[in-house]
Structure 1
């Protein structure tokens, strides 16, 4: 049974967990299979737990039940030497949540990570690279839309820019999530935590989505994925959803072809759209609602208007 669960969740059983017995092994796997629904969080937490428990084994810890706060603190200290503060805090959160789960399952008597503090970190501005409007327009205009791939790529990038959609929410869309309401095209996004979020389309996005859906024939498959891979050797769309890694490779390839030197990623377009909206008189509160953020503090991380002020001020340094 354990082996089937390991295969199902693509999670390796650490030696320290196996040494604690079958109950511990089942509880460990249940944490990733049952307690964490987001696949990206699951992968990150599994990596952190695997790394930590491997380090504990090399440090002479006999079993997961023997892990102490000192072990967690020493591992976190090592992490700060090679990783950013947000990454270290995420890894510490993974260990805390795992041991909380093991405590409630009566596998370990206490949570050794509960008293361990992570590195201090406070961010007022995000680190995501942002395109200015000219670059964003250049990127979209340089895409060859005479092929299904071009229509797909332009529609996906425009969706992230004009609806502030996360790439995960965009790639999870079905064809039926593009629909007409109040004589306008709308999009339905499923954000983190299963929250459904609907938005009317900007007129540019509306044109691009119509061109893509109508031009590729996927309108006849409303339950199928909106953004799809391409069948090898045919240039035609398949029935398989486009993976996030493929989307990242696509935007990097499109940026290079458009002569854009900024090291952009999928999240760039969300930040680009929010910044452009705020520059043109939009309010932070409305931006938060459009991005489906629970707090405007999160939206502020995407607001890069101050970058323009900084650049202008730097140019005042004349020698």
Structure 2
């Protein structure tokens, strides 16, 4: 019966879970398919849980109900030696949430992860690489927009810079999510947790999006994905949405072609836009609203104006 309920989005059953019986197996699968809606979170949690239960099996833990806080703590201690503190904390959170779910389902009596503390980690400034305005401008200007690929890439990068959009939200957009309102072009983004976020376009972003829509012929397919792959050997947009891995590869390729040595990722454009906005007199509170952050403390992690101050001060050391 369990096999008929397995979703393609659920991870394979670990040995300890399968050995615990059908009830435990179903509850385990429900944790991933019923409680976690974000595909990236599901993959990350499945990796963490699978790693922990495989470790338990190799350590000689005989059953799922025999997992103790000592096992969780020892596993986390090993993770802190080979991984960063945020990674260890995220994996502990995955294991903790799973066992909480199993406790509620009466598969195990108590959660062995509840009393285990993760490594201490304090973050005041984000680590995401950021471009200065001149570099961002050079990157955008370096893209050849004589092809639909160039129009697409410039529009996607511009969207992440000027609207502070996460790459996942940008790639989830449909053509109809770019629409006119109050004589300006607006974009509609579906962010984490199912939150829908709309904001007007910067005039430069408006130019990029209009050029892309006009050059791609996508206006006749409002329900279709906005950013698409290129059909093999055709040079034309396909019906398939652009995957995140392809977007990351595109960003690295465009940055290299523009002579930018900073190791960029898609999230760099979000941080670049927020930093540029704040450097030009924008407020932290408004930046948080534009970025759809629940707290300004999150927005502060993207504020890299201090990097410029630090560099200026270092240059005072004249020898």
What band does the TM-score fall into relative to the shorter chain? Answer: over 0.9
Correspondences of 1:37-186 after superposition (within 5 Å): 37-186=37-186
| Partner Cα distance (2:47, 2:36) in 1 | 14
| Partner Cα distance (1:266, 1:140) in 2 | 14
| Partner Cα distance (2:217, 2:163) in 1 | 23
Correspondences of 1:1-319 after superposition (within 5 Å): 1-6=1-6, 8-319=8-319
Aligned pairs, number = 319
| Partner Cα distance (1:9, 1:204) in 2 | 39
Contact 1:172 1:225 in 2 (8 A): yes
Deviations 1:218-250 (CA, angstroms, capped at 9, x unpaired)? 110000000000100001000101010110000
Contact 1:179 1:187 in 2 (8 A): yes
- Deviation of 1:2 (Å): 3.0
| Partner Cα distance (1:42, 1:246) in 2 | 20
| Partner Cα distance (1:5, 1:218) in 2 | 38
| Partner Cα distance (2:68, 2:13) in 1 | 20
| Partner Cα distance (1:84, 1:76) in 2 | 11
TM-score by length of structure 1 reads 0.99
- Deviation of 1:4 (Å): 4.6
Contact 1:248 1:265 in 2 (8 A): yes
Contact 1:6 1:13 in 2 (8 A): no
SS at 1:164 equivalent: coil
| Partner Cα distance (2:261, 2:102) in 1 | 47
- Deviation of 1:62 (Å): 1.1
| Partner Cα distance (1:45, 1:6) in 2 | 17
- Deviation of 1:318 (Å): 2.5
| Partner Cα distance (1:95, 1:278) in 2 | 38
CA RMSD of aligned residues (A): 0.9
Contact 1:161 1:270 in 2 (8 A): yes
| Partner Cα distance (1:111, 1:314) in 2 | 50
Contact 1:180 1:186 in 2 (8 A): yes
| Partner Cα distance (1:66, 1:197) in 2 | 45
What residue ranges of structure 1 are gaps of 5+ in the alignment?
none
| Partner Cα distance (2:2, 2:227) in 1 | 35
What residue ranges of structure 2 are gaps of 5+ in the alignment?
none
SS at 1:9 equivalent: coil
| Partner Cα distance (1:159, 1:182) in 2 | 20
Deviations 1:18-59 (CA, angstroms, capped at 9, x unpaired)? 110011011001000001000000000000000000000000
| Partner Cα distance (1:2, 1:292) in 2 | 40
Contact 2:166 2:270 in 1 (8 A): yes
| Partner Cα distance (2:87, 2:36) in 1 | 18
| Partner Cα distance (1:165, 1:68) in 2 | 42
| Partner Cα distance (2:108, 2:95) in 1 | 13
Deviations 1:50-105 (CA, angstroms, capped at 9, x unpaired)? 00000000000112111100000000000000111111111010000000000000
TM-score by length of structure 2 reads 0.99
- Deviation of 1:207 (Å): 0.3
Deviation larger for 62-71 or 126-135: 62-71
